[in-house]
Amino acid sequence: MKIAIAGSGKVGRALAKDLLGNGHKVLMLDSDPECLDRRDIEGAETVLGDVCEISVLERANLNDCQILVAATGDDKVNLVVSLLAKTEFGVSKVVARVNHPKNEWLFDSTWGVDVAVSTPQILVSLVEEAVSVGDLIKLFTFKMSGVDLLELTLPADSPVVGKRVGSINWPTDTSPVAILRDARVITPSKDDTLEMGDELLFVAKQEQEPALKDLLCSSAKRGLHNFVTES
């Protein structure tokens, strides 16, 4: 999966660092050469230029990207690059940062925006969710207890698909807390059967996460992504 990030400020670089660490290809776009020449985004492809210029996006081969994140600190820029990405380059999914709440109403499909978000944490979460079916994702850490809130969307090849919750030998200090299915929130009972596409939420001690990964994920999907800070 190749992900373009328009804006290499603090938010864009933090997002790029997480995505690079999780094995994704990242394209960074910015008009500031100093922002692009930072060690914390080593490994990312960079293109210098105004992200609102079609010629710059053409030079970046934006049509090769499956996702664009408009992460600049300027709402006008984010709207323009979102619209260009969707209409001129056919980018499948556009996620845009909203800097000022009063502008949020503009961030919709009219401007090519699929998802509008207003905080860096949610921005990282949504982008990862778009490419991470079958990965165990750390959503939140309860600092005092060292317990994490984790999420996984079950792929077809998960070993637990078709099994009842009560028949699964969950790791110690691990508990499923919710099943999200078809816009419903299900409190897991021992008789609930897990289905492909279920979004599962867990609380678990950090040391049990490798065992939970092994239980839930196929051998080809063993990633654990972190993108939200401690409480």
The pLDDT score that the predictor gives to residue 137 is 78
At 201, which helix (H) or strand (E)?
strand 199-205
Q: What is the pLDDT of residue 132?
A: 54
pLDDT at 228 over 70: no
| pLDDT tens track for 137-193 | 777 777 667 788 888 888 888 899 999 999 999 999 999 999 999 889 999 999 999
Identify the CATH number of the domain in which residue 94 sits.
Answer: 3.40.50.720
Q: What is the CATH classification number for the domain harbouring 158?
A: 3.30.70.1450
- The whole-angstrom separation of Cα 137 and Cα 94 is 21
Residue 43 sits in the same domain as residue 87: yes
**140 vs 148: CA distance, rounded Å:** 6
The label of the residue with tokens 């839930």 reads 216
Indicate whether 27 belongs to any domain.
yes
Looking at the structure of the chain, the number of domains it has is 2
| Separation between Cα atoms, residue 75 and residue 65, nearest integer Å | 22
CA gap 65, 107 in Å, rounded: 21
| Mean pLDDT score, 108-116 | 90
| Collapsed DSSP state (helix, strand, coil) of residue 102 | helix
Q: Which of 131, 160, 193 is the last residue of a domain?
A: 131
Rounded Cα–Cα distance for residues 9 and 51 (Å): 13
Residue 77 domain flag: yes
Residues 108 and 210 in one domain: no
Q: Which domain holds residue 107?
A: 2-131
**End-of-domain residue from the set 115, 131, 147:** 131
Q: Are residues 7 and 109 in the same domain?
A: yes
Q: Is residue 231 part of a domain?
A: no
- Average pLDDT rounded to a whole number, residues 198-221: 83
Closest CA to 77 of 138, 8, 132, 13: 8
Residues 204 and 150: beta-carbon distance below 8 Å: yes
